[in-house]
């Protein structure tokens, strides 16, 4: 039996999910897909791919790392104990809404010093991370400290973090469609120690 409070909560959930989906569709309309397409050759030609992000952006990139691994690429998440040193021929994909997150910028500096290529996912092309990057993919979302709700009504950097997740899934789908490897072959790489 639904109480008035449950009905109100259910209505709020539906409204908020609609808001999140609407904001992501609006953001998608603003993306420069010609610019984003420039990332794919970097992924395809990298010897190894490293991904780094802090907080929820980092979690979104972990998801991307899993899909790229399924695709058969050699992928590492920076900061894991089994992640090797980055070197020339490698690619670092770094996500930071502000482009100023100190750990992300420091990792990009080390990658560049080692001869690796850095690609940034950010809300701005005017940042220390962008300056270190061969390519900066602009996701026009609110930064964490943008509390004015002019770009997003969601909390903190939620829209940016969601966009990182969704864009990386679109990148994977595009790579997979071009390659044509059957899903059954990709599945053989799926974790089996779960």
Rounded Cα distance between 28 and 24, Å, is 6
Instruction: Tell the residue number behind the tokens 């808001």, with chain if given.
Output: 19
Of the candidates 189, 177, 172, the residue with the CA atom closest to the CA atom of residue 49: 172
Identify any residues that bridge with 117 across adjacent strands, giving them in sequence order.
91
Catalytic choice (109, 161, 185, 194): 161
Of the candidates 169, 130, 154, 171, the residue with the CA atom closest to the CA atom of residue 43: 171
Q: What angle do CA 157, 9, 11 make, to 5 degrees?
A: 85
Instruction: Tell the residue number behind the tokens 């989906």, with chain if given.
Output: 21
Known catalytic residue at 185: no
Of the candidates 137, 110, 119, the residue with the CA atom closest to the CA atom of residue 36: 137
Q: Is 65 exposed, middle or buried (0-12, 13-18, 19+ CB in 10 A)?
A: buried
Catalytic center residues: 161
């Amino acid at each position: 039996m639904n109480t008035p409070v449950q009905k109100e909560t259910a209505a709020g959930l539906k409204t908020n999910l609609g808001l999140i989906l609407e904001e992501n569709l609006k953001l998608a309309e603003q993306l420069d897909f010609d610019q984003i397409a420039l990332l794919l050759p970097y992924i395809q030609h990298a010897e190894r791919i490293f991904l780094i992000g802090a907080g929820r952006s980092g979690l979104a990139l972990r998801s991307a790392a899993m899909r790229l691994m399924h695709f058969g690429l050699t992928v590492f998440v920076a900061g894991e104990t089994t992640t090797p040193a980055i070197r020339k021929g490698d690619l670092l994909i770094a996500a930071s809404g502000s482009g100023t997150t100190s750990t992300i910028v420091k990792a990009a500096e080390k990658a560049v010093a080692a001869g690796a290529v850095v690609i940034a996912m950010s809300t701005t092309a005017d940042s220390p991370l962008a300056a270190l990057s061969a390519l900066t993919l602009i996701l026009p979302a609110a930064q964490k400290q943008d509390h004015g709700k002019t770009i997003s009504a969601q909390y903190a950097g939620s829209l940016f973090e969601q966009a990182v997740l969704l864009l990386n899934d679109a990148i994977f789908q595009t790579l997979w469609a071009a390659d044509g490897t059957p899903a059954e072959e990709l599945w053989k790489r799926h974790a089996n120690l779960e």
